[in-house]
């Protein structure tokens, strides 16, 4: 029983992590209609960025948690301005393909610059230990990561649904020209949203740095799991992305504990089941036929 | 449940779906209801459409007319209630199945294959019931057998000379006409037209009225329109919907003098704007 | 102008609609002949195993185009069919010793079989959703193949697939002759694709691509059509995957990873979608480029292919074929109506 | 077999072409990759310097290709290297699946192939062939050193976590054999997906019944993930961590501190003695980095291949193989080395190594402490068990 | 005569090579309702889009309150007080009804309608306030689109066929609103095909055919000549 609780906690910790990354994906999709294939690469840049900052500028984890998302925000803005924006008016498939190409490019550039065998990183000061409650013991870093992710998810959700900024942003992506004609300077808003989504991926990357291998390829399987997460949650749904993130985290943990060889297939089986029963995902809105 | 004057057999046990009300009823709904997440767009509507008549569906915006059409043609699944086509329950069937039962529709918002020529549209419509569409091993030329009939249909709506242009390059009124000719292609027993004259200039409206009149020979037509001129010229029977429920039913003259209809829909001017 | 409410896929195809609308029959016949000649001459000028790769990837791209260009469905999990067939072909060839064309046909049939349930689930969604669902299913197949290592050899792959061909030794050992022995299978796949798009069925597919709701109202069972074309496409991908695995003598998990699905989409878009012709063109470019880069000492294939992809999507969405066709058309029309200029 | 033996003094195409086929861009790029090509070039230079005018050929080329760890690409590239680039030998090929694919090509083309980077014992076992040699290590050697020695030293109760694919299973099987032979036992064998980046649950599971040793059979990025998360699990004080296969580049990328106290088997270590160090200095002058055992092994294989060509006076596959078979070699890489004729396994002394704590690391790359030498005769699978028949 | 708010001077517009407006000159004053009537394709929508700054391929000049709008972006023009009700209504699917209403920035506090006032005018919108905008019926969307610039407090409204697809009772209601806001000093440029409706609300009419203003006349003249004019225009 105590093992079960332990697995559950571990699942939730991983889930918080997926939720955060999937949230960035969902925000960009929900707001701009762009399925950002490069989200995994951006996550990787977040982790690599932390390691590089530590190496060249002695910026510790806590610093990276602030600096890296800001840098990725700027990078996102660049990507949006130079590339993504030209395809916004077209079928979403084009930006999907564009960001796919971008992923290949970014990953190989990182490989050329930083090699492939990974970069070193340490646990942040103050979170090296473990927290023991009753018979349970969890790494304090993972606990921190989980709580941090959840808090950030909630903040973003509130921002998008409850504020005027969120509203403007949603309107701008649905029809930029019309929104302009209603008196809103659209250009000012869409770009930062993309940057913001990328920054969220970057946060996930920073959080990953202390306990995952920091390599150029670290995002390539991650993005596929994120896709499963958003399909399960409902592609356009921000709440769905967060909930499905936790769900997938739990499924993964139980799978690893009780059916190790099938842990990863389970996620996709879950996804197939969801598509079969609720094609729009658990929290997605029904598509008009 | 049903408000207003129902004309025929709605009173006789609406719960037994198999019972054919009158021999001439082609379409009948029994307590048809559609909920959208707690909002009831169509509420217990029981409707009888007599074979061979032109039946108008009017009502304020949001009354549930388009939703009712979507239910009748399978694009939406009813939350409860039944749809009987010649006595057979078709609720829950898919749009393509219903189409094969002889029900054709046009859309309120123009819905065409923008990149195809007009003739290709009609070939597609005509080929549908033949199952030719599944033949991936034969040549496309086999569609040629529908050419003559397709041209006739285009001629009927005045588009014969445009048979080779793509639908995307048509003017709005012409698109509406093409919609109607597609709906007519397979000689449907029941024709559902959603605002066939919306967005048309007067001249086009009159042409369309004539067209629908001509098309109605030998079949049943149900249409939605806000243009009282159109309703008055065409409808044998009018059903007024409001907030998803039947408010009134009767001939055009009955309905237009109905106090409730005037307050809820026509307004004091009696709908004479159009 | 008029807002379309249906959520359809509007991808820019290289041809304006039906693939043959632009070209007159003579030009078309000429091009076909030329293409055939090129395909026949390929192993004389290109290292035969590479030539084989080009036509196999070309056919694979055709299977994608059938979905993307003609039905508006982007499959991002087509590696599932290519890879499954690669394994099944290999298993048949190794275990039964049957001639390789038989093994490949067997592989293609199995690919079609697994496409039925996959298609059934995937066609319930459109656009980007469809891409995601197919991708996820391909991942499932990948993990299953990895688990079933008694059958597939797991990470080591399925080694030593024989090129049995009725005891004709030159074919079995010399890639040059093998190319010609395998080519009919590729041409068969291309023919099926061509036949499909130029049939009444193909016309319905275009209708579905443009406006699925309208197609349904006309009485077409849209989902069924999509499943059918999905299965046909899987079969074609299967033919290509089978040829590929026999040519290389083995099948590996590489055939099933998502990057393979991505690569074939890249090839298709690069060549130009909605033409069937584009795929093989794109395949020639990508395969030759990879071949060159692998021995050039420049280690960063992703940098090149990634940049190409980004540029194509940004600037030449109609791909090689579409861009060239546009150019030709523009030159022609300029010839006809001289002096016309944009206002 | 083979066709008519080529006459002595016959060098095909008037040149000797050495091809290095390995990962130039992927996960194994650093542990071998482009720097192995450098090592082979060094071997060619040194060999030319040694033979000067009496070299069988002055025309020696080194070519390279990237197999991206993909067996299909390796297969095509191998064919191309042999056919188009006229390669007389292919070297390296990390990744077992690719390695086996190349072995098949070598056999068909009757050309020499010396594998360095791959782990699978199948190369000199079930899938061995006349033209294929395995130079540096294999899973048996790793298990023998790490599994056998640690068990004898008191780590009787093992739990093994392994990536669920051929290499991982091979490793687990080999380890089980050695651990049982040494009087220990494996309690749990925990398979993990491959590749994978989240091991928390697996580690919890493997630590649950408090074994003496947890062995990880992961490599590359997975290994680094595993070790990071292992250190976070807070069990490193009570349970010893053994790593199945480690390259010095792994330690370098994660930092010695994370690995401190970890025991593993080395095929060669640059700072082991003067001779090694001398070569490592030369290597560093060229590449700005210290060599992994794979780099050294590539040099050794290339050099000895050229020696065999010189002796045979021919670069024809069959002639060279004849010279290599049974050859006893002692160079800076192969200590007490021998090319076993029966299965083409190259045996040599192996080492049990431990990662130094950061405090003891005196210079960059000085991460390892060699704690024991395993004699060549014991380090590798006995011929009788190999299952190879050529 | 009240002060002139909008002046369009010899405006020509092009779609690619095709000229769809030819030297169109019209003006609208404060508190005035001016229509553009004409067949499908006459160029009415194009004119409105040009004024809004959405159609850029034009020649000629447009001025608001005497200052030229040349080079000003659409959002700038909106903030100067031009409110647009597009022919396709332009309701956002991802915004709720209420969000659709509050999206445009308020340009004139005094003129701006409160949400309550809007809901009083269109009770159905209050009922559906938390629904996604495009889940409304076609007519409900039209009301929403009308309400939006009222909420912003625009001083010049460009209405593109606001009566299309509306129930007669709603059409009357819209007519009443137009008359109300006119009396509050708002200027309206109204595109209509529904001639009867146009004549109940407008002060002046411009007949557009093939991109040209073929006739300009006041409402009385318009009403007395309706039949003749319609014939002339083929409407
Ligand atoms: N995007 C476009 N590309 C090319 N031509 C266009 C485009 N939009 C409009 N046109 C053409 O410009 C002309 C004027 O169109 P406009 O939409 O302004 O007419 P309208 O008077 O508003 O018509 P309606 O009453 O149908 O709305 C028409 O001939 C139309 O075909
Ligand atoms: N998919 C949906 N989800 C939620 N509500 C919907 C949906 N479709 C329609 N409605 C609501 O149902 C009601 C009826 O809409 P419907 O389109 O049937 O009206 P209508 O009578 O055709 O009106 P109009 O004449 O304006 O076209 C409206 O209030 C609309 O908001
Ligand atoms: C780590 C590697 C160089 C070995 C490789 N995993 C193999 O398959 O043998
Ligand atoms: Mg409607
Ligand atoms: Mg218009």
What is the per-residue pLDDT for C136?
84
**Do the beta carbons of residue C200 and residue B143 sit within 8 Å?**
yes
Structural domain boundaries enclosing B31: 1-102+189-274
Helix, strand, coil distribution of chain C in percent, nearest 5 = 75, 0, 25
Residue B16 clears pLDDT 50, i.e. is over it: no
Q: Which ligand is nearest to the CA of E208?
A: 1
Q: Are residues B156 and B95 in the same domain?
A: no
Query: Of D235-239, D268-272, E8-12, which range is least confident?
Result: D235-239
What is the per-residue pLDDT for D2?
33
Mean pLDDT computed over B59-73: 88
**What is the per-residue pLDDT across C254-304, written as a single tens digit (0 to 9) for each?**
899 988 999 999 899 888 888 888 899 999 999 998 888 876 767 677 888
Of D223, B273, C212, the residue nearest E197 (C-alpha): B273
Confidence class of residue E122 from pLDDT cuts 50, 70 and 90? confident
User: Ligand 2 center to residue B62 CA distance, Å?
Assistant: 5
CA D274, D276, D281: angle at the middle one, nearest 5? 90
Residue A158 clears pLDDT 90, i.e. is over it: no
Mean pLDDT computed over D226-238: 84
**What is the per-residue pLDDT across A19-48, written as a single tens digit (0 to 9) for each?**
988 988 888 887 777 889 999 999 999 999
**Do the beta carbons of residue B202 and residue E229 sit within 8 Å?**
no
Q: Check C146 against D85: CB less than 8 A apart.
A: no
**Average pLDDT of the residues of chain E:** 87
Q: Are residues B73 and B142 in the same domain?
A: no
Residue D84 clears pLDDT 90, i.e. is over it: no
Confidence class of residue D297 from pLDDT cuts 50, 70 and 90? very high
**Do the beta carbons of residue B191 and residue B104 sit within 8 Å?**
yes
Decide whether any atom of ligand 1 lies within 6 Å of the E203 Cβ.
no
Q: Among E16, E21, E42, E189, which is best to mutate for testing ligand 1, by the most ligand atoms less than 8 A from CB?
A: E42
What is the per-residue pLDDT for A149?
87
CA–centroid distance for C134 within its chain: 15
**Do the beta carbons of residue B106 and residue B130 sit within 8 Å?**
no
What is the per-residue pLDDT for B267?
67
Q: Are residues B166 and B206 in the same domain?
A: no
Report for A43-52, A234-243, C39-48, E107-116: range of highest mean pLDDT: A43-52
Confidence class of residue E98 from pLDDT cuts 50, 70 and 90? very high
Q: Answer whether E touches D (≥3 Cβ pairs < 8 Å).
A: no
Mean pLDDT computed over A134-156: 82
Neighbours of ion ligand 5 (CB under 5 A): E 45, 87
Of C202, C199, C243, the residue nearest C57 (C-alpha): C243
Q: Is residue A140 a part of any domain in this protein? A: yes
Task: Output the domain CATH number for residue B76.
Answer: 3.40.50.300
Give the minimum alpha-carbon distance from C130 to chain B in angstroms, rounded to a whole number.
20
Structural domain boundaries enclosing E178: 4-233
Chain D residue with CA closest to C296: the answer is D65
**What is the per-residue pLDDT across C178-196, written as a single tens digit (0 to 9) for each?**
999 999 999 999 999 999 9
- Where does residue E81 rank: exposed (0-12), middle (13-18), buried (19+ CB within 10 A)? buried
Q: Check B111 against C213: CB less than 8 A apart.
A: yes
Give the minimum alpha-carbon distance from D75 to chain C in angstroms, rounded to a whole number.
7
**What is the per-residue pLDDT across D97-121, written as a single tens digit (0 to 9) for each?**
889 889 988 998 899 999 999 998 9
Separation in Å, CA C227 to CA C60, C205, C222, C231: 18, 11, 9, 6
- Measured between beta carbons, the chain C residues lying within 8 angstroms of A94 are 11, 313, 317
What is the per-residue pLDDT for C2?
28
Which ligand 2 atom is at minimum distance from the Cα of A286?
A: 1
Cβ neighbors of D171 (< 8 A, separation 6 or more) are D119, D139, D142, D143, D162, D217, D244, D245
Q: Are residues B178 and B204 in the same domain?
A: no
Q: Among E13, E14, E15, E210, which is best to mutate for testing ligand 1, by the most ligand atoms less than 8 A from CB?
A: E15
Mean pLDDT computed over B192-220: 82
Q: Which residue bears the tokens 């060889």?
A: A261
What is the per-residue pLDDT for B81?
92
CATH of domain C49-321: 1.10.3470
Q: Give how many domains chain A has, as a whole number.
A: 1
Q: Is residue A98 a part of any domain in this protein? A: yes
Q: Are residues B96 and B160 in the same domain?
A: no
Mean pLDDT computed over B12-35: 67
Interface contacts A/E by beta carbons within 8 Å: 65
Residue whose Cα lies nearest atom 18 of ligand 2: it is B64
**Average pLDDT of the residues of chain C:** 84
What is the per-residue pLDDT for E42?
81
**Token representation of residue D159:** 């739990």
Q: Are residues B1 and B84 in the same domain?
A: yes
Confidence class of residue D3 from pLDDT cuts 50, 70 and 90? very low
Alpha-carbon span A8 to A22, nearest angstrom: 20
Give the minimum alpha-carbon distance from A5 to chain E in angstroms, rounded to a whole number.
40
Using the 8-state DSSP alphabet, how is residue B54 labeled? E
Structural domain boundaries enclosing A181: 2-118+128-217
Q: What are phi and psi of D354, to 5 degrees?
A: -130, 145
Mean pLDDT computed over C215-223: 87
Q: Which of A35, A105, A274 to mutate to test the interface with C (most CBs of C within 10 A)?
A: A105
Q: Are residues B206 and B262 in the same domain?
A: yes
Which ligand 1 atom is at minimum distance from the Cα of E43?
A: 18
User: Domain map of chain C by residue range?
Assistant: 49-321
Confidence class of residue E2 from pLDDT cuts 50, 70 and 90? low
Q: Check D24 against C255: CB less than 8 A apart.
A: no
Higher pLDDT, E102 or E39: E102
Q: Check C342 against E17: CB less than 8 A apart.
A: yes
Higher pLDDT, E65 or A5: E65
* Single residue among B156, B187, B218 that ends a domain in this structure: B187
Alpha-carbon span A139 to A131, nearest angstrom: 6
Residue whose Cα lies nearest atom 16 of ligand 1: it is E43
Q: Is residue A289 a part of any domain in this protein? A: no
Q: Are residues B77 and B211 in the same domain?
A: yes
Q: Check C3 against B114: CB less than 8 A apart.
A: no
Residue A269 clears pLDDT 50, i.e. is over it: yes
Q: Check A122 against D31: CB less than 8 A apart.
A: no
Higher pLDDT, D93 or C153: D93
Task: Output the domain CATH number for residue E164.
Answer: 3.40.50.300
User: Ligand 2 center to residue B66 CA distance, Å?
Assistant: 7
What is the per-residue pLDDT for C297?
67
Confidence class of residue A4 from pLDDT cuts 50, 70 and 90? confident
Decide whether any atom of ligand 1 lies within 6 Å of the E20 Cβ.
yes
Give the minimum alpha-carbon distance from D329 to chain A in angstroms, rounded to a whole number.
32
**Token representation of residue B272:** 């004479």
Mean pLDDT computed over E206-220: 87
Alpha-carbon span B91 to B74, nearest angstrom: 7
Confidence class of residue A285 from pLDDT cuts 50, 70 and 90? low
Contacting partners of chain D (3+ CB pairs under 8 A): A, C
* Single residue among B129, B158, B187 that ends a domain in this structure: B187
User: Ligand 2 center to residue E135 CA distance, Å?
Assistant: 6
Mean pLDDT computed over D70-92: 89
Neighbours of ion ligand 4 (CB under 5 A): B 66, 108; E 138
- Measured between beta carbons, the chain A residues lying within 8 angstroms of D201 are 7, 10-11, 252-253, 256-257
Percentage of residues of chain C with pLDDT beyond 90: 41
User: What was the ipTM of the complex prediction?
Assistant: 0.77
Residue B7 clears pLDDT 80, i.e. is over it: no
**What is the per-residue pLDDT across C70-89, written as a single tens digit (0 to 9) for each?**
998 999 999 999 999 999 99
Contacting partners of chain B (3+ CB pairs under 8 A): C, E
Q: Is residue A246 a part of any domain in this protein? A: no
What is the per-residue pLDDT for E190?
94
Q: Among E38, E39, E45, which is best to mutate for testing ligand 1, by the most ligand atoms less than 8 A from CB?
A: E45
What is the per-residue pLDDT for A45?
96
* Single residue among B135, B169, B187 that ends a domain in this structure: B187
**Do the beta carbons of residue D61 and residue D322 sit within 8 Å?**
no
Higher pLDDT, B62 or A46: A46
Residue C274, chain D, CB below 8 Å: the answer is no
Q: Give how many domains chain B has, as a whole number.
A: 2
Q: Check C225 against B128: CB less than 8 A apart.
A: no
**What is the per-residue pLDDT across D21-31, written as a single tens digit (0 to 9) for each?**
998 877 788 88
Q: Which ligand is nearest to the CA of B172?
A: 1
Number of C-beta neighbours around residue C301 at 10 A = 19
Cβ neighbors of D253 (< 8 A, separation 6 or more) are A115, A117, A118, A119, A120, D30, D224
What is the per-residue pLDDT for C13?
60
Residue E205 clears pLDDT 90, i.e. is over it: yes
Q: Give how many domains chain E has, as a whole number.
A: 1
Closest CB to D253 among A119, A211, A252: A119
What is the per-residue pLDDT for B105?
86
Residue E229 clears pLDDT 80, i.e. is over it: no
Higher pLDDT, D179 or A160: D179
Q: Check A98 against C302: CB less than 8 A apart.
A: no
Closest CB to D166 among C47, C154, C248: C154
């Amino acid at each position: 029983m105590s093992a079960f609780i332990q697995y559950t906690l571990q699942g939730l910790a991983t889930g918080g992590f997926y939720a955060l990354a999937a949230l960035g994906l969902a925000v960009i999709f929900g707001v701009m209609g762009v399925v950002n294939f490069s989200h995994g690469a951006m996550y990787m840049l977040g982790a690599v960025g932390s390691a590089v900052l530590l190496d060249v500028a002695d910026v510790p984890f806590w610093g990276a948690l602030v600096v890296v998302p800001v840098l990725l925000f700027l990078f996102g803005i660049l990507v949006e301005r130079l590339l993504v924006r030209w395809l916004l008016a077209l079928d979403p498939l084009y930006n999907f393909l564009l960001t796919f190409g971008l992923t290949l490019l970014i990953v190989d550039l990182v490989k050329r610059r930083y090699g492939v065998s990974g970069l070193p990183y340490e646990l942040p000061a103050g979170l090296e230990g473990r927290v023991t409650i009753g018979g349970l013991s969890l790494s304090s870093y993972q606990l921190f990561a989980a709580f941090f992710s959840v808090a950030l998810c909630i903040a973003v959700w509130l921002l998008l649904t409850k504020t005027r900024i969120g509203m403007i942003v949603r309107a701008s992506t649905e029809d930029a020209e019309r929104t302009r004609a209603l008196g809103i300077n659209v250009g000012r808003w869409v770009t930062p949203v993309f940057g913001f989504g990328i920054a969220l991926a970057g946060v996930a990357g920073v959080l990953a740095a202390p306990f995952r291998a920091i390599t150029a390829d670290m995002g390539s399987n991650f993005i596929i799991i994120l896709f499963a997460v958003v399909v399960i949650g409902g592609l356009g749904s921000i709440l769905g992305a967060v909930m499905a993130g936790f769900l997938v985290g739990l499924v993964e943990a139980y799978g690893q504990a009780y059916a190790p060889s099938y842990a990863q297939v389970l996620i996709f089986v879950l996804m197939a089941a969801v598509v079969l029963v609720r094609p729009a995902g658990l929290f997605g809105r029904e598509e008009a036929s | 449940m049903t408000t207003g004057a129902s004309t025929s057999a709605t009173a006789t046990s609406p719960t037994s779906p198999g019972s054919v009300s009158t021999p001439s009823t082609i379409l009948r709904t029994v307590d048809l209801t559609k909920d959208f997440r707690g909002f009831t767009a169509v509420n217990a509507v029981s409707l009888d459409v007599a074979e061979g008549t032109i039946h108008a569906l009017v009502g304020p915006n949001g009354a549930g007319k388009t939703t009712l059409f979507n239910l009748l043609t399978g694009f939406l699944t009813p939350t409860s209630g039944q749809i009987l086509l010649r006595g057979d329950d078709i609720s829950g069937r898919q749009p393509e199945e219903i189409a094969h039962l002889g029900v054709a529709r046009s859309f309120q918002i123009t819905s065409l294959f923008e990149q195809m020529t007009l003739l290709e549209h009609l070939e597609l419509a005509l080929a549908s019931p033949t199952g030719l569409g599944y033949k991936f091993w034969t040549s496309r030329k086999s569609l040629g057998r529908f050419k003559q009939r397709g041209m006739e249909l285009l001629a009927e709506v005045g588009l014969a000379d445009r048979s080779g242009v793509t639908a995307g390059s048509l003017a709005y009124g012409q698109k509406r006409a093409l919609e109607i000719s597609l709906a007519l292609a397979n000689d449907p027993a029941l024709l559902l037209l959603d605002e066939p004259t919306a967005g048309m200039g007067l001249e086009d409206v009159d042409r369309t009225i004539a067209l629908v009149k001509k098309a109605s020979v030998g079949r049943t037509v149900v249409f939605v329109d806000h243009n009282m001129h159109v309703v008055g010229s065409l409808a044998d029977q009018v059903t007024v919907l409001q907030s998803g429920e039947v408010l009134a039913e009767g001939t055009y003259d009955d309905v237009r003098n109905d106090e409730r209809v005037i307050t809820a829909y026509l307004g004091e001017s009696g709908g004479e704007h159009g | 102008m008029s807002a379309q409410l249906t959520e359809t896929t509007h991808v820019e195809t290289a041809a304006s609609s039906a693939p043959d609308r632009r070209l007159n029959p003579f030009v078309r016949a000429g091009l076909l002949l030329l293409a055939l000649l090129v395909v026949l001459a390929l192993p004389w000028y290109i290292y035969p195993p590479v030539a084989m790769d080009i036509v196999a990837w070309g056919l694979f791209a055709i299977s994608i185009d059938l979905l993307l260009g003609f039905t508006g469905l982007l499959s991002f999990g087509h590696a599932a069919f290519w890879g499954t067939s690669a394994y099944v072909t290999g298993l048949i060839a190794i275990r039964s010793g049957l001639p390789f064309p038989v093994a490949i046909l067997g592989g293609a049939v199995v690919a079609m079989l697994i496409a039925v349930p996959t298609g059934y689930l995937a066609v319930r969604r459109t656009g980007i959703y469809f891409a995601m669902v197919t991708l996820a299913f391909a991942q499932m197949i990948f993990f299953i193949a990895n688990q079933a290592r008694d059958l597939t050899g797991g990470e080591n792959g399925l080694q030593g697939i024989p090129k049995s061909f009725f005891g004709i030794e030159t074919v079995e050992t010399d890639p040059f002759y093998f190319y010609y022995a395998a080519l009919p299978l590729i041409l068969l796949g291309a023919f099926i694709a061509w036949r499909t798009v130029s049939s009444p069925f193909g016309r319905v597919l275009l209708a579905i691509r443009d406006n699925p709701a309208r197609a349904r109202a006309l009485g077409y069972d849209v989902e069924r059509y999509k499943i059918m074309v999905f299965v046909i496409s899987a079969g074609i991908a299967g033919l290509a995957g089978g040829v590929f695995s026999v040519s290389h003598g083995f099948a590996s998990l590489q055939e099933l990873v998502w990057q393979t699905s991505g690569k074939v989409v890249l090839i298709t878009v690069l060549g130009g979608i909605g033409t069937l012709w584009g795929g093989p063109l794109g395949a020639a470019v990508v395969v030759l480029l990879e071949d060159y880069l692998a021995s050039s000492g420049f280690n960063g294939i992703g940098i090149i292919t990634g940049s190409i992809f980004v540029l194509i999507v940004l600037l030449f969405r109609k791909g090689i074929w579409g861009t060239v066709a546009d150019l030709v058309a523009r030159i022609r029309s300029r010839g006809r109506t001289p002096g016309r200029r944009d206002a | 077999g083979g066709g008519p033996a080529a006459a002595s003094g016959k060098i095909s195409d008037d040149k000797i072409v050495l091809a290095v086929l390995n990962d130039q861009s992927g996960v194994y790029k650093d542990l071998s990759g482009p720097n192995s090509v450098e090592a082979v070039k060094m071997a060619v230079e040194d060999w030319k310097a040694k033979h000067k005018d009496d070299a069988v050929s002055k025309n020696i080329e080194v070519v390279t290709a990237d197999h991206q760890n993909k067996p299909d690409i390796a297969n095509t590239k191998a064919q191309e290297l042999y056919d188009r680039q006229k390669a007389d030998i292919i070297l390296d090929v990390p990744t077992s699946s690719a390695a086996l694919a190349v072995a098949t090509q070598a056999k068909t083309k009757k050309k020499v192939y010396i594998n360095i980077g791959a782990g699978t014992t199948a190369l000199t076992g079930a899938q061995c062939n006349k033209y294929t040699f395995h130079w540096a290590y294999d899973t048996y050697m790793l298990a023998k050193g790490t599994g056998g020695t640690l068990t004898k030293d008191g780590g009787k109760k093992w739990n093994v976590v392994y990536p669920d694919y051929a290499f991982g299973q091979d490793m687990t099987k080999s380890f089980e054999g050695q651990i049982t032979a040494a009087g220990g036992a494996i309690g749990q064998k925990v398979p993990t997906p491959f590749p994978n980046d989240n091991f928390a649950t697996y580690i919890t599971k493997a630590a649950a019944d408090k074994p003496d040793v947890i062995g990880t059979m992961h490599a590359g990025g997975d290994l680094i993930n595993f070790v990071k998360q292992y250190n976070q699990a807070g069990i490193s004080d009570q349970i010893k961590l053994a790593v199945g296969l480690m390259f010095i580049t792994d330690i370098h990328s994660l930092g010695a501190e994370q690995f401190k106290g970890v025991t593993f088997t080395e095929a060669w270590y640059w700072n082991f003695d003067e001779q090694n160090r001398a070569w490592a200095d030369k290597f560093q002058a060229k590449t700005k980095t210290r060599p992994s055992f794979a780099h050294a092994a590539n040099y050794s294989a290339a050099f000895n291949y050229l020696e065999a060509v010189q002796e045979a006076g021919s670069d024809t596959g069959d002639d060279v193989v004849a010279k290599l078979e049974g050859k006893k070699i002692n160079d800076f890489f192969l200590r007490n080395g021998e090319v076993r004729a029966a299965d083409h396994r190259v045996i040599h002394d192996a080492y049990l190594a431990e990662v130094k704590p950061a405090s003891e690391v005196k210079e960059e790359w000085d991460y390892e402490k060699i704690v024991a030498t395993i004699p060549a005769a014991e380090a590798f699978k006995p011929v009788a068990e190999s299952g190879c028949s050529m | 005569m009240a002060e002139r708010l909008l002046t369009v001077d010899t405006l020509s517009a092009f779609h690619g090579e095709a000229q769809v407006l030819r030297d169109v000159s019209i003006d609208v004053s404060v508190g005035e309702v001016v229509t553009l009537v004409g067949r499908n394709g006459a160029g009415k929508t194009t004119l409105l889009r040009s004024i809004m700054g959405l159609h850029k391929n034009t020649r000629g000049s447009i001025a608001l309150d005497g200052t030229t709008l040349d080079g000003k972006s659409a959002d700038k023009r909106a903030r100067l007080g031009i409110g647009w009700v597009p022919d396709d209504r332009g309701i956002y699917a991802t915004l709720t009804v209420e969000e659709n209403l509050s999206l445009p920035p308020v340009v004139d506090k005094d003129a701006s309608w409160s949400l309550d006032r809007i809901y009083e005018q269109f009770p159905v919108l209050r009922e559906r306030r938390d629904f996604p905008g495009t889940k409304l019926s076609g007519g409900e969307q039209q009301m929403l689109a009308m309400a939006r610039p009222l909420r912003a407090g625009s001083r010049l409204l460009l209405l593109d066929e606001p009566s299309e697809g509306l129930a007669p009772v709603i059409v009357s209601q819209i007519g009443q609103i137009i008359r109300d806001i006119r009396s509050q000093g708002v200027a309206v440029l109204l595109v209509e095909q529904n001639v009867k409706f146009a004549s109940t609300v407008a002060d002046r009419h411009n007949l557009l055919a093939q991109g040209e203003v073929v006739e300009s006349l006041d409402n009385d003249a318009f009403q007395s000549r309706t039949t003749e004019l319609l014939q002339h225009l083929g409407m």
